[in-house]
Structure 1
Amino acid sequence: MAFAVARGGRLDVIVNNAGVGPISRFDALRVDDWDAMIDVNFRGTLYGIAAALPVFARQDSGHVVNVISTAGLQIVPTMGVYAATKNAVRTATEVLRQEAGPKLRVTEVSPGVIATSFGDTITHQPTRKMLEERLGNIAISPDAVARGILYALEQPPEVDVGSIVIRPTAQS
């Protein structure tokens, strides 16, 4: 945050977008993968918020965008821990919005199947293969998510876009 402020003179927005998804069924007992998802997906978002809030408070303005996932909206097998971390971020985002006051905007963005390297973090090979076969052909470009975030950012200061879901039309 200090680098951004030093370079640009202020901080207008933070987009918390880090995430890993080494998903698997619970009975695969991949506890290290669970820890990784909790650390990156949930704690990473909290650390980003903690770094940005003091800057936003000094400026009396700012915008927090937390990228979540449709996996937290439509719960399916293999996504238990991943969805739980994303729903923890969803809960934290809503509480932050309520605590923010009139000068801080807070937006949650829930992407569906996006053409990224997300699948590379899946360490359980049967789950990885199943998802690639089932969802790989419907993934949409990451720029769709970027356009959704830009929509929220471009609104006037008194307008807070609370939640955006962006997914392929073919995604159930």
Structure 2
Amino acid sequence: MSDSLGSNTLDIAGKVIAITGASSGIGEATALRLAKHGALLALGARRTDRLEALAARIREAGGEAPLVHALDVTRREEVEAFVQATLARHGRIDVLVNNAGVMPLSRMADLKVDEWERMVDVNVKGVLFGIGAVLPSMNAQRSGQIVNVSSVAGRQVFATAAVYCATKFAVHALSEGLRQESPFLRVTTIAPGAVESELTSTISDPAMKREVDEVFRKEQLPADAIARAIAFAIGQPADVDVNELVVRPTAQPY
């Protein structure tokens, strides 16, 4: 997706956009991309040192990232605090990008129940906490957009990824249900294929991590490819809701 799809016409400038998992990968790239379009950014993640460095880069390039906030999306009170801090500073949130996610792949027979629980906590409950935190203000202003970053694993199941796929299928279901309930809320699901990120770093089985890394390295999109898709969805007119974008490397077969 090139900038020719509307870099000069995207309606992003001045929008207050909160991003979870903003310290690396898709979240970081999305912050950099949206800043170029004039967004007012609130950045949340656990690694605040990386957030501060990212905010400094954005400001040095002429963008605006006035809020950096420590955020663990598995903790409901921290998600609420992130949203409330953004509202206190700007008076509104136009867009929430639910981006934080983990992918500790394993075979079901390995019984890595703690890892299953972690995936549900981050990939599902983290998204729900984000939605629950911003809905009251978006309902009050009768406008807003929630962008949920899912995966092609939310559309197709893969061996060794059963639980991860389940969490991403859940994201698709939550997004569609939320969309149907509101006549004014825009809801977008972004489903990336193989992308440069830290996702495989959460795989605890060294042999499986090597195997997955080898597959990922064959054809990988830069994180900015997904950031451009997110910017495209956000930048449409208020009466246009881009419900789902699937973005894969051209050569990726699945």
Q: TM-score range by the shorter chain?
A: over 0.9
* Structure 1 residue 169 corresponds to structure 2 residue 250: yes
* Structure 1 residue 22 corresponds to structure 2 residue 104: yes
Query: Is this contact kept in 2: 1:97–1:105, CA < 8 A?
Result: yes
TM-score, with structure 1 as normaliser = 0.96
TM-score, with structure 2 as normaliser = 0.66
* Structure 1 residue 139 corresponds to structure 2 residue 205: no
Give, as a single letter, the amino acid of the residue that structure 2 aligns with 1:98.
Q
Unmatched segments (≥5 aa) in structure 2: 1-82
Query: Is this contact kept in 2: 1:22–1:37, CA < 8 A?
Result: yes
Deviation of 1:157 after TM superposition, in Å, equals 0.5
Instruction: State the Cα deviation string for residues 26-58 of structure 1 (Å, max 9, x = none).
Output: 111111100000000000000000001001011
Deviation of 1:4 after TM superposition, in Å, equals 1.2
Q: For 1:79 and 1:106, how far apart are their aligned partners in 2?
A: 26
* Structure 1 residue 127 corresponds to structure 2 residue 242: no
Tell me the percent identity.
46
Which of these residues, 179, 199, 202, is aligned with residue 97 of structure 1?
179
Deviation of 1:137 after TM superposition, in Å, equals 2.8
Query: Is this contact kept in 1: 2:96–2:134, CA < 8 A?
Result: yes
RMSD: 0.9
- Indicate the larger mover: 16-25 or 121-130: 121-130
- Report how many residues are paired: 171
3-state DSSP of counterpart to 1:76: coil
Specify the alignment match of 2:144 in structure 1.
62
Specify the alignment match of 1:115 in structure 2.
196
Instruction: State the Cα deviation string for residues 83-140 of structure 1 (Å, max 9, x = none).
Output: 0000011111100000012x21000000111101111111122221111112223111
Query: Is this contact kept in 1: 2:154–2:170, CA < 8 A?
Result: no
* Structure 1 residue 151 corresponds to structure 2 residue 232: yes
Q: For 2:217 and 2:110, how far apart are their aligned partners in 1?
A: 23
Deviation of 1:9 after TM superposition, in Å, equals 2.4
3-state DSSP of counterpart to 2:233: helix
Query: Is this contact kept in 2: 1:78–1:127, CA < 8 A?
Result: no
Query: Is this contact kept in 2: 1:24–1:78, CA < 8 A?
Result: yes
